[in-house]
Every structure is written in C-alpha cells, then in structure tokens.
Amino acid sequence: MAAEKFQQKIEDILSCADVAINGSRPWDMKIYNDRLYPRVLAEGSLGLGDSYVENWWECERLDEFFRRVLGARLDTKIKCWKNMTCFLKARATNRQRLSRSFQVGEQHYDIGNDLYQNMLDRRMAYSCGYWPNAKNLDEAQEAKLDLCCKKLRLEPNMKVLDIGCGWGSFAKFAAEKYDVKVTGITVSKEQKNFCIKSCKGLPVDVRLQDYREINEKFDRIISIGMFEHVGYKNYRTYMEVVRRCLKQNGLFLLHTMGNNKTVYHCDPWFDKYIFPNGMIPSIAQIEESIRDLFVMEDWQNLGADYDKTLMAWYENFEKNWGNISENPKYDNRFRRMWRYYLLSLAGSFRVRQIQVWQIIFSPNGLIGGYNYTR
C-alpha cells in the first residue's frame, strides 16, 4: 500500500509538467523498478539521476523531460535531506578553497582527452558556442572565440591572461588570429599537456596553477567557463586577483553560466558526479564581488545558445560512442551518466532556468564609453 502511495505522489507531481508514467510520448518516463518512487522522494535530484544511471527508468527525450519538469518548477516540490546536506556543507565550509581547487580537474577534465575529442568541436572549446550565423558546432565555437577577441579589443603584442584555459581553444585562436601573447592557467594536467602540444610554436605559456597564485600584469584578462568553479565564498578574492593583475587601461571578459536566483551550492547529482564543488553565480553575487573594483561596461546573455551547443555535444557523443567505448573505462554506466548530464543541462537552458553571460569590465570605466560588439 505504501508503494502505491509513493507512486501516486510522483504521478501527481509529474502531471503538473504534463509528464506521464509509462506514457507513449517521448518525454514520458518508462519505469523498470518501482523502488524509484520512494528513492526520488527521499533523495530528490540525486535519487532521480542515480536511478537513471542504474537503468531503473528510461525516457526517449531526456532533454524534453527536463524542459517540462524544470519549466513547471517541480525541482522545488520535493524537499529532501540530500539538498539540505549540500546547503549546510556549502555554508559551513569553503568547498572551493585552494587545497581543493584541483579536485574538479582530476575528476572531470582529466578523465580522458579521447572522450572530449570525440564530443567537442575541432578546437576543443568546452563552453557555450555562438550560433546566430553558425551552421554547425565548429562555426559556433569559432564565432564565440572571435566575439571574445573583438570584445576585448585585442591588439598585436598585447599580454593576455586566460584563467581556466581548458584545452587552449581561446589561447591558440587569439595568438594565431590576433597576434597576442597568452598565458593560460588550468587545474587539469590533461588540459595542460594537450594545450602545450596544440599551441606549439605560438606565444602561448600554459601553467598548472590556481588563479589565486597569479601576480603579474596583463593588458587583457579573459575567463571562459571557469567562474562556475570559484564558489561564492571566493568571488571577491577572484575579482581582487583579476583587478591586481589587470593594467589600468585594461579590459576583463567574464564568460560564465548564470543563475536566475542566488544559491550557495550545486545540484547534488552534478556535485557528486560531474562538477564537484561547482556553483552557478547570480547577478547579485557578481555585482557584490566587483563593488569598488570594476565598472561593468557590457553584459550579453547567450543562454539560449547553450541548448544548441549541448545538443551538438550529445549528438557527437552518441555518434562517436563506438570510438569512445573502445576505452574500457567508458562503460554503459558512464554512457548513461554522461547522457543524463548533457541532456538535463540542455533542458535547463531550453527553459531558461540558467543562462550564459559575457560581461566586460574595466578598472575605472572607459572614457567615452564602451562600444559593444555582437
């Protein structure tokens, strides 16, 4: 009887999003294990994600499932101890302190360049592409990189700091196309090694280093998809480091996911499996972090473009699964985990629950203003 009550409660909650249990539509859930119902009620998003990875349920279109679930705010209807535990940990400790800064590199970015080469574009850009005039992923990522360079007003021989340089997509593009000297820092050994080989012969210096350890002057600073690893207790420190390293007449471009509301921790499932210690900032948190340090010159929202980017990554991942699975560490459990990661995030962006912002800052405000680029 209790099992039937659990099922009925889940069915009632899902009906608010027009999602059915064992329905015929692509976004309906197919249930293979009835233990799913009490697990989700007890563990929330962690239980939902884990049970999918363990093949307790299936959905033909996970991206559309999450578009409906998140659009109906069903994530707020289940209160569980897992979410409270994450909140308390985030408030009680600095989960992104220096001693933990390399954890996300080891768990996420170092899992294998072979995986990312089969999923990303030819330049290995692991962030939102820019799609207004792009026909495919390669074009969207190159358009994003060029947009960043133009927003920074790059000129030959400028010194540029790339905080969280990834596999070197921006560093290589800027050095080749704009004749600048780039210093890139990353917390991933695999990214550093790949970047060094990819940028051979170019004025690109790549370091395995935390942002807090930088103390040099640069004409321009950029950070693409790294601020999500900084954490709210370190936002001010991060901005102070950027201000310390940026010349008086310099520009700083921050490219980051953005949250519609202020939070203090990541989703429990994403924190455990994908981005440990991650956190998406809000407008209020960014504003607080730059106070008396920077003038905001421009703010562009690219959020809708990340849906297209994630779906392109998912298509590459599925298309190239035969190549990826040749490495035995990428088993079927990993495939389901990665599929859940990409498609649930795509659904989040599709319903505009989270955004992508490109923000231009200057130390003192540009005389005459900033002529923005789109």
Domain ranges within the chain, ordered by starting residue: 2-79, 101-362
**Cα(96)–Cα(230) distance, integer angstroms:** 6
Provide DSSP, 321-356: HHHHTTSTTS-HHHHHHHHHHHHHHHHHHHTTSEEE
* Residue 247, number of CB atoms within 10 A of its CB: 14
**Cα(7)–Cα(15) distance, integer angstroms:** 12
Distances (CA, A) of 169 to 121, 199, 310: 10, 9, 17
The pLDDT averaged over each successive group of 10 residues in the chain (374 residues) is 83 96 98 96 94 98 97 84 64 74 90 97 98 98 98 98 98 98 98 97 98 97 97 97 98 98 91 94 98 98 98 98 96 98 98 97 94 89
pTM: 0.95
Provide DSSP, 145-207: HHHHHHHTT--TT-EEEEET-TTSHHHHHHHHHH--EEEEEES-HHHHHHHHHHTTTSSEEEE
pLDDT the model gives residue 87: 59
pLDDT the model gives residue 88: 66
pLDDT the model gives residue 8: 94
**Both tokens of residue 47?**
């239980």
Query: Can you give the three-state secondary structure of 217-235, one letter per residue?
Result: CEEEEEEECCHHHCCHHHH
- Report the Cα 157 to chain-centroid distance in Å: 30
Q: Could you say which DSSP state residue 292 is in? A: T
Handedness of CA 40, 41, 42, 46 (dihedral sign): positive
What are residue 116's phi and psi, to 5 degrees? -70, -30
pLDDT the model gives residue 97: 79
Q: Which residues of 204-226 are buried (b: 16+ CB within 10 A; e: fewer)?
A: bbbeebbbeebeeebbbbbbbbb
Q: Using DSSP, state whether 257 is helix, strand or coil.
A: strand
pLDDT the model gives residue 86: 66
Nearest to residue 74, comparing CAs of 23, 15, 24? 15
**Cα(116)–Cα(105) distance, integer angstroms:** 14
**Both tokens of residue 169?**
């997509």
For the chain, the straight-line distance linking the first and the last C-alpha, in angstroms and rounded, comes to 59
CA atoms within 13 A on the CB side of 199: 31
- Tokens 């070197």 sit at which residue? 168
The topology under which CATH files domain 101-362 is Rossmann fold (3.40.50)
Q: Which residues of 112-137 are buried (b: 16+ CB within 10 A; e: fewer)?
A: ebebbbbbbbebbbbbbbbbeebeeb
pLDDT the model gives residue 1: 47
pLDDT the model gives residue 3: 72
**Cα(331)–Cα(325) distance, integer angstroms:** 7
Which amino acid is present at 341? Y
